């Protein structure tokens, strides 16, 4: 069995609605589709991990306060992005 290296890729088949695929191809071109989807999956996995952290914290300590949420936003996104999120421009 061949060991896998960092950066090794694997071809997979994914079914998606045709209109979504058309929109993706229009945005990325055929060659950029895999990269775009890879980054979208990485982002979603990171968001899932954050959700798990929050759920674990809230299970142990109760719901996060608005102040704790605002502090986390500043640490994650910086002051400027926090203002944009508050205005709904994220």
Lowest mean pLDDT among 35-39, 44-48, 86-90: 86-90
The alpha carbon of 24 is separated from its chain's Cα centroid by a whole number of angstroms, namely 17
Question: What is the pLDDT, as a whole number, of residue 31?
Answer: 84
Question: What is the pLDDT, as a whole number, of residue 90?
Answer: 45
Q: Compute the mean pLDDT over every residue in the chain, rounded to the nearest whole number.
A: 86
35 in Cβ contact with 42 (< 8 Å): no
pLDDT digits (tens, 9 = 90+) for 49-72: 999 999 999 999 999 999 999 998
Given a cut of 50, is residue 46 above it in pLDDT? Answer: yes
């Amino acid at each position: 069995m061949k060991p896998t290296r960092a950066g090794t890729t694997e071809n997979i088949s994914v079914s998606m609605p045709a209109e979504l695929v058309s929109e993706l191809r229009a945005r990325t071109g055929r060659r950029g589709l895999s990269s775009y989807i890879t980054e979208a999956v990485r982002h979603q996995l990171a968001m899932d991990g954050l959700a798990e952290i929050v759920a674990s914290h809230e299970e142990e300590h109760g719901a996060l306060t608005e102040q704790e949420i605002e502090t986390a936003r500043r640490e994650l996104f910086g002051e400027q992005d926090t203002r944009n999120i508050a205005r709904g421009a994220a």
